[in-house]
Structure 1
Amino acid sequence: MADAKLSNGGLHSHNRAPSKEIRRRSLLLIRATSATRLLLLLLALHMSCTIFRFAIPLYLSPDRRFLPCTMAGNPALHSQGEAAPSKSKRGMASLVHKKEREETEEGGEKDDGGEFWRQPDGLGFRPCLNFSEEYRRSSRRMMEVGGGEEATMRRRFLMVVVSGGLNQQRNQIVDAVVIARILEAALVIPILQVNAIWGDESEFADIFDEVRFKKELKDDVRVVSSLPPNFLTARPSADSIRQFDIDEQWILSHFLGRMKRNRVLLLRGLDSRLSKDLGPDLQKLRCKVAFSALQFRPAIQAVGNALAARMAEKGPYLALHLRLEKDVWVRTGCLPGLGAEADRVIHQERTRKPRLLTSRIDMLPHQRYLAGLCPLRATEIVRLLKALGASASTRIYLAGGQPFGGEEAVRPLLSEFPKLYNKTSLAMAGEIEQFEHQPSVMAALDYIVCLKSQVFMANHGGNMQRAMQGHRAYLGHRKHITPQKKGLVQLFMGNYTSTTDEQEVHDVIRKMHEDSVGAPSNRTDRKGRDVIAYPVPECMCR
């Protein structure tokens, strides 16, 4: 018993002596267990993100906080606040990388270049705006002041109201300069009509560099900020141009007499009214306005340049104008292919606003699709890009608005090309918030980043596509992919998809696009081509 007591007493005495050490070890064990649990939780989140193909394991929100997966809660944007057709209500901001996160990635794969980045042969063409001697003499005559009386041009004023989105406005401003030149009138800085869809109340100087605009055109058309004081009470002769394909003689016969009488002419409805086949000097003037005079104001240009520089930090990038917005599906008469509910929403909107359907109203959606008149869907964009040589490491800048259907609409693209960015994901805190209520300025940022990309592709035609095509050609025929949609649709719906090796499909697609990557194309080869999209031969020579 004594021995036992000694043993027990010795045991208890031993346990009491190191009690602090036991507590320390217990605390370390508890901490290790908590850390292990946290690690397992993060691993589970990562696996769930991977399984569901979300954009990135951790999402850096616009206010620079990390949130699990893409659960940032940004709603997908739909016109008139309508719910998304899919269950997902997250916006595009949750699908693209934040710039800061990529910079923390170790050993990130770089795009290895190759065939996809190969530029077309420009055939030695370069910008050259060599106006004729007659044009230059006329310019001197219009600009000179003599005899104590202002020259003709200073006594006539053209005012114009331009409408639509950014690139529609650009086109109309170009044509307004040309009309002012034909009428030998001074051009008052164009009035931008409030956009009915976006509610953008921006004025000319909010978007464009007014000082540069005047300076670049000083030898062509006198540009003034407003009417002189003695004209402010004058009632201008107002008109809307309803006829298409009007030329110099039509303009002179319809407006010159009225301008001489009233001295101030106010025009509306310039969109796509002026002939695409004007004389060589007026075509050159169009190029001068579009590619040199009409630049964005410095603050916008600086932000756009910064976004483009961040895209280019790790090599070349593709700019993709997605064109999957709701209004695109409504206007084209096509269906988004996201299920019956999405199709119903588009059909109802088109029925409610039949004027939005732009052309060929007698064609059914499926007929339009087979004719290549619809935007490519995300799965089709993926197949096209992969066939042309894009890889999973290709960095892609997404231009344009929110796709109809949100995350669901672009998930196939994100799955194959995870390095997707847009202006929101590239911008630093406070950089673009100043422009949030100016959709035209946000579109201008897209324009700048797209123009500076190594490769550009518009998923569907339109004003942005034509502007990019011509501007990139003017800067040296930078690669511009034009999807051959009719051929692609027939290929994807044919036997190739089930009986032919995928590599053979890629070979067919590459062959199909050999002449659709931005090589020089003569405008005069086909009547009605716009010199803003095809600057050869009037605006480029070799």
Structure 2
Amino acid sequence: MDKGTYDANYKKLVGGGFEGADAVEKEKPYVGKIKPNKYYVVMKGEKLKNLIVAQSRAARFKLWVARVVALVLVWAVVVQLMWLGDAIAPRVLKFRSSYSFPCPRIYKNNGYRLVSSNGGLNQMRFGICDMVAIARYLNVTLIVPELDNTSFWNDHSQFADIFSVDYFIDSLRDEVRILKELLPAQKRKVESESLFSMPPVSWSNMTYYYNTVLLRIQEHEVLHFTKTDARLANNGLSVEVQRLRCRANYKVLRFAPAVEALAKKIVQILWHRGPFLVLHRQYEMDMIAFSGCSEGCNELEIEDLTKMRYAYPWWKEKEIDSEKKRNDGLCPLTPEEVTLALRALDIDRNIQIYIASGDIYKAEKRMASMRAAFPNLVKKEILLDPSDLEPFQNYSNRMAALDYYLSIESDPFMPSYGGNMAKIVEDHRRYLRYKKTILLDRKVLVDLIDQYKNGTLSWDSFSMLVKEAHVNRMGNPAKRLEVPGKPKVEDYFYTNPQECLPQVPEPSTDI
């Protein structure tokens, strides 16, 4: 065999070109310029084939092992990072898993409903949740509610300034169709014809909506609700309706990104310093004026408050017996009364007390005793730079949204009055496995305070009686009060939505 023939055959050998008998016949090596050594071994065809197969299997096995090892290592790293994140991340910044929105519910659409919410932020929040439930069970399309811009607070914030619109729409799409605005055809219909508007009857059950409201929607295609507050009954509704109201309130009405980011920043600052109690103080001038509660006010202050009450014709109650109302437990507690309650309950004087409220009436004078007893009083205006709050200034509902978020996150929460903010926060904290909410019994408390002030009770006796009166008022599980025919007297659904509350062991009553 000449060198050229060998070169051709060698290339076939290296490339796997010889098989079977041909490989055996042409296995003689060329011994010209190539020097045999321990790395150069020419094997018979069958042995070469077996070696190649074995090497291929070994390579695949090694690759498989390498992949398994890599996956184990990656998983170990992920577990370590998750553990590390839980260990060092602030509670407010914990990782939130991505939310998968539900599939849309398919149903025959019976029409469209526009909604104008009324009242302050929390009153509107109740109403929006009711509107979701009504739209779901009437099979109508709900247009994103319009917020009240004409009430006493004169806040021109829109829905998107307070709540996350897209999350509101997408997270409810398995129940109800929600649009940001009417479709072009319905817009033209509304523009060419008069829009049918109505305030639905308050405290109604679903029968009213099926028998009366649905007929109006089918007749006019587009219906406008002019009010949303207290449009559904507290009791007598199906569990499905009640639970949808809860879902809308707790899980769907997420605050807008700007509101949530700033609220989290405040929470992080507070947690960095230690535990904090949120005190919801409803002692603004308009609250005192409209309630007619003038405990601790001098004659000039009482005169100013009375003038304010008469200046607003929509506030029907003008002549008010302040003392009687206070003794019945119907007045907001004064800052001095709240201070005595906090001390009697043995609240740590060094705890941070975050004041969730607007401007306290005569704050310099009325808050003096609280500052002396609890030196760590804080407000968002103290904790944040003015530039942080600038987009929220002059928008009472946005400021209220920040306070709402803080109230949910606080260690204990204490309202000094039973307004809408106190009710909805109490409700939300019940839902979160009964987070401690100190619900002051104002009627009992003012009586004990008066006895302590006139010397009838010593401090130790006063403190003991205050503790006894509140041992079961820490946000414990409770059955909602029903008063047939008098819905306003009943426990409000959004204060104690028992159909939605988690079943937990009886909570501790320790203060």
The whole-number CA distance in structure 2 between the counterparts of 1:164 and 1:473 is: 24
Post-superposition Cα deviations, 1:355-387, rounded to whole Å, max 9, x if no partner, equal 3256xx775111101111111111111110011
Q: Where do 1:192-207 residues align within 5 Å?
A: 192-207=147-162
Report 1:362-381 matches (<5 A). Answer: 364-381=321-338
Partner residue, 1:306: 265
Q: Which has the larger radius of gyration?
A: 2
User: Which one of 480, 492, 502 corresponds to residue 540 of structure 1?
Assistant: 502
Q: Once the two structures are aligned, what percentage of the paired residues are identical?
A: 28
Alignment pair present for 1:275 and 2:233? yes
- Matching residue within 196, 210, 224 for 1:238: 196
Cα deviation, 1:97-132, whole Å, max 9, x if unaligned, reads xxxxxxxxxxxxxxxxxxxxxxxxxxxxxxxxxxxx
- RMSD between aligned residues: 2.1
Q: Which residue does the alignment assign to 1:459?
A: 416
Question: Does the aligned pair in 2 maintain the 1:157–1:264 contact within 8 Å?
Answer: yes
Give the structure 2 partner of residue 211 of structure 1: 166
Matches of residues 427-466 of structure 1 in structure 2 within 5 Å?
427-466=384-423
Distance 2:368 2:453 in 1: 24
Answering whether residue 377 of structure 2 is matched by residue 420 of structure 1, we say yes
**Higher relative contact order by CA 8 Å / sep ≥ 6: 1 or 2?**
1
Contact between 2:155 and 2:396, CA under 8 Å: does it hold in 1?
A: yes
Residues 354, 266 of structure 1: alpha-carbon distance in 2 compared, 3 angstrom cutoff: closer
- Could you tell me how far apart the structure 2 residues matched to 1:451 and 1:210 are? 21
Structure-2 residue corresponding to 1:519: 476
| Corresponding position: 1:177 with 2:136 | no
Give the TM-score normalised by structure 1.
0.69
1:537/1:254 Cα in 2 relative to 1: closer, same or farther (>3 Å)? closer
- 1:141-178 per-position Cα deviation (integer Å, ceiling 9, x unaligned): x932xxxxxx422x511110002211011011111111
Residue 263 (str. 1) matches residue 221 (str. 2): yes
Matches within 5 A, 1:312-461: 312-353=271-312, 355-357=314-316, 364-461=321-418
**How far off is 1:438 after superposition?**
1.9
- 3-state SS of paired residue (1:540): coil
- Contact 2:275/2:411 (<8 A) preserved: yes
Distance in 1 between residues matched to 2:452 and 2:272, nearest whole Å: 42
Contact 1:286–1:531, Cα closer than 8 Å, also in 2: no
Q: Is the 8 A contact 1:477 1:520 kept in 2?
A: yes
2:282/2:416 contact within 8 Å kept: yes
1 CA distance for matches of 2:314 and 2:295? 20
Aligned residues: 394
Q: Is the 8 A contact 2:452 2:458 kept in 1?
A: no
Q: CA deviation at 1:413?
A: 1.1
In structure 2, which of residues 119, 143, 161 is the aligned counterpart of residue 188 of structure 1?
143
Distance 1:511 1:526 in 2: 27
Deviation at 1:495, TM superposition (A): 6.2
Indicate the SS of the match to 1:162.
coil
Other-structure match for 1:284: 243
In the alignment, the residues of structure 1 paired with residue 280 and residue 170 of structure 2 have an alpha-carbon distance, to the nearest angstrom, of: 32
Unaligned regions of 5+ residues in structure 2, if any?
1-101, 485-489, 505-511
Q: Give deviations 1:45-94, integer Å, cap 9, x for gaps.
A: xxxxxxxxxxxxxxxxxxxxxxxxxxxxxxxxxxxxxxxxxxxxxxxxxx
Distance in structure 1 (CA, Å) of the matches to 2:230 and 2:366 = 32
Tell me the SS of whatever aligns to 1:519.
coil
1:305-325 residue CA offsets vs partner (Å, 9 max, x unmatched): 110111121221110011000
Deviation of residue 429 (structure 1)? Answer: 4.6
Could you tell me how far 1:391 is from its partner in structure 2?
3.0
- What residue identity is the alignment partner of 1:293? V
Deviation of the 1:529 alpha carbon: 2.7
Write the distance in 1 (CA, Å) between the matches of 2:483 and 2:434: 19
Distance 1:385 1:420 in 2: 13
Is 1:498 aligned with 2:455?
A: yes
| Cα distance in 1 for residues equivalent to 2:402 and 2:372 | 26
Structure 1 pair 166–495 and aligned structure 2 pair: CA distance change class (3 A): closer
> Which residue is equivalent to 1:55?
none
For residues 355 and 203 of structure 2, the distance between their equivalents in structure 1, rounded to whole angstroms, comes to 34
1:279 partner letter: S
